[in-house]
């Protein structure tokens, strides 16, 4: 990646992603508006005479590849940085602080989490999931 110009590019990519998302319809499960027991979460319509599957006018749109986010903008954190999952202190070496932000793996314990936190502060890396560490703070 390219440093300062990467920052500008990330901003442009986030704007492009938001612009595409504006025109993306809300995909709903078939007849979720009709029955309370059906949640609106997307399920692919199936059935030989299914009007939604056949894309009859007046029925909600189907999920299609054309609604997808631009490839360059996929996987970006809302801050515009790319995420890097870290399990130990050694994985912090060689990470560019202008391009990547660190997410500490959920399986990392308190002691190693503190060490990762300290080193990432030294390197100027942004931590996406900081957590208070230590007994005194949790009381």
Q: Which residues of 80-115 are buried (b: 16+ CB within 10 A; e: fewer)?
A: bbbebebeeeeebeebeeebbbbebeeebeeebbee
Residue 73 CB partners (closer than 8 Å, separation 6+): 13, 14, 16, 17
- Residue spans of the domains in the chain: they are 4-69, 82-132
Given pLDDT bands bounded at 50, 70 and 90, which one contains residue 4? Answer: low
- Say whether pLDDT at 133 is over 70: no
Q: d(Cα 83, Cα 96) in Å, to the nearest integer?
A: 11
Tokens of 90: 């050694």
Average of per-residue pLDDT values in the chain: 89
**55 to 42, 50, 67, 103: CA distances (angstroms):** 15, 9, 16, 41
Q: Would you tell me how many other CB atoms lie within 10 Å of the CB of residue 46? A: 9
User: What stretch of H or E contains 15?
Assistant: helix 4-23
Residue 35 CB partners (closer than 8 Å, separation 6+): none
Eight-class DSSP state of 46: -
pTM recorded for the entire structure: 0.68
The average pLDDT across 54-64 equals 96
């Amino acid at each position: 990646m390219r440093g300062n110009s990467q920052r500008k590019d990330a901003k442009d990519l986030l704007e492009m992603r938001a612009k595409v998302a504006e025109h993306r319809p809300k995909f709903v499960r078939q007849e979720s508006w009709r029955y309370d027991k059906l949640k609106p979460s997307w399920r692919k319509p199936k059935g030989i005479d299914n009007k939604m599957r056949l894309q009859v006018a007046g029925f909600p749109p189907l999920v299609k590849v054309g609604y997808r986010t631009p490839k360059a903008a996929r996987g970006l954190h809302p801050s515009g940085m790319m995420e890097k999952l870290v399990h130990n202190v050694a994985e912090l070496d060689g990470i560019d602080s202008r391009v990547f932000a660190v997410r500490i793996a959920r399986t990392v314990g308190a002691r190693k989490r503190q060490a990762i936190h300290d080193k990432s502060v030294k390197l100027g890396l942004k931590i996406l999931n900081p957590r208070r560490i230590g007994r005194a703070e949790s009381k």
